[in-house]
Amino acid sequence: MRDGEIATPAVEVRSSPIEGLGLFAARAFHPGERLHHVNVVREVTPEAPLRPELGERADHCDYPDGRVVLIGAPDRHVNHSCDPSAYVSYEEDACYLVARRAIPAGAEITCDYSINVTGGSAWPCHCGAARCRGTVVGDCFQLPPDIQREYRPLLAQWFVRRHAAQLGPRLEIWSGGQTGVDRSALDVALELGLPLGGWVPRGRLAEDGVVPSRYESLREADSPDYAERTRLNVRDADATLVLAMGAATGGTAFTLEEARRVGRPVLEIDLSAESTSEAAVRVRAWLESLVATRSFVRLNVAGPRASQAPGVYARARQTLRDALAAYAARTP
Ligand SMILES: [Zn+2]
């Protein structure tokens, strides 16, 4: 910014239809964009308690990693919603409000008060969201299971560390359900007790008929087109692993292209050029770098179908079993 220029604030405080004052977007934000650097005034300790005479209140506090911190304006005005437009991302020594979806200019910025919290008090909710639960539970483990699953990637690293046993695996395996590499990933996930996810074509199409029902958590896309579900898997997962046999071609090449286009982390391994244990070492190192910066990773695994790469299922399965064993929820 040049001298004399006035910064346009990204957020503003005004009266809210949810309750009292709220925080609003002064411009449009895209999903994943930082909205605001949260104003942490100070840490509240026995030596430096809240000073009610100065308007400092317990409901303006946040509780990161067992500490108590006082949140200042404008962030203390963020209202709760059961379908929040934003969440708080804790990074090193700072925290940010981050858009959970596209937020148009003028829309209220909301967070779900039940994220990163256990044992808090409950109170009635009037947030007005279509999926309002009627109560702010103040405990993320009391949320309905589907909501817990949806919020899993939003949890802070410190919260995951403190509640690792209760939260379970930090990895979810995604694929498009095709024969070959896709199925090897799903089978390893089932074997290790890791959750499965991902999009399959409408009608659960695959080259051997339909995607078997044991992969029940895979969702059907609106289109029967393989490319469309590839696009959705790359978009909705956090990172993509491509296991090829030789140079990537066809759908495998399209997956790589798509991951690079949308800017997701991607690792390509040629299983015909190295041993499965060498490949596993590389996958493991790459995964470690991913989980170091995320509380939860949806890993999309893609590669050739069985008819295009004979033997790929067995090699991919061995590689993934070695690479993912450290994240297993149970011993195979
Ligand atoms: Zn609500």
The answer on pLDDT for 170 being more than 90 is: no
Are the C-beta atoms of residues 125 and 133 closer than 8 Å to each other? Answer: yes
pLDDT band at 4 (very low <50, low <70, confident <90, very high): very low
Question: Residue range 41-68: average pLDDT?
Answer: 92
- Gap from CA of 25 to ligand 1 centroid (Å): 20
Are the C-beta atoms of residues 35 and 133 closer than 8 Å to each other? Answer: no
CATH architecture label of 11-166 = Beta Complex (2.170)
- Gap from CA of 140 to ligand 1 centroid (Å): 14
Question: Residue range 219-237: average pLDDT?
Answer: 96
The answer on pLDDT for 3 being more than 50 is: no
Q: What is the pLDDT of residue 50?
A: 94
- Gap from CA of 276 to ligand 1 centroid (Å): 49
- Gap from CA of 110 to ligand 1 centroid (Å): 11
Domain segments of the chain as ranges: 11-166, 168-329
pLDDT band at 327 (very low <50, low <70, confident <90, very high): confident
Strands 86-91 and 94-99: antiparallel
Q: What percent of the chain has pLDDT over 70?
A: 97
Q: What is the pLDDT of residue 169?
A: 81
- The mean pLDDT of the chain is 92
- Gap from CA of 153 to ligand 1 centroid (Å): 20
Tokens for 233, please give them: 């898997």
Q: What is the pLDDT of residue 229?
A: 97
Q: How far out from the chain centre does Cα 300 lie?
A: 13
Question: Residue range 207-215: average pLDDT?
Answer: 95
Residue 115: closest CA among 150, 91, 72, 69: 150
- CATH T-level fold of 168-329: Rossmann fold (3.40.50)
Topology alike, domains 11-166 and 168-329: no
Q: Which residues have CB atoms below 5 A from the ion given as ligand 1?
A: 82, 125, 127, 132
Strand order in the sheet with 11-15: 11-15, 21-25, 108-111, 79-80
The answer on pLDDT for 49 being more than 90 is: yes
Q: Which amino acid is at 117?
A: V
Give the whole-angstrom CA distance, residue 266 versus residue 187. 21
Question: Residue range 310-314: average pLDDT?
Answer: 96
- Gap from CA of 312 to ligand 1 centroid (Å): 48
Neighbour count for residue 324 (Cβ, 10 Å): 24
- Gap from CA of 125 to ligand 1 centroid (Å): 5
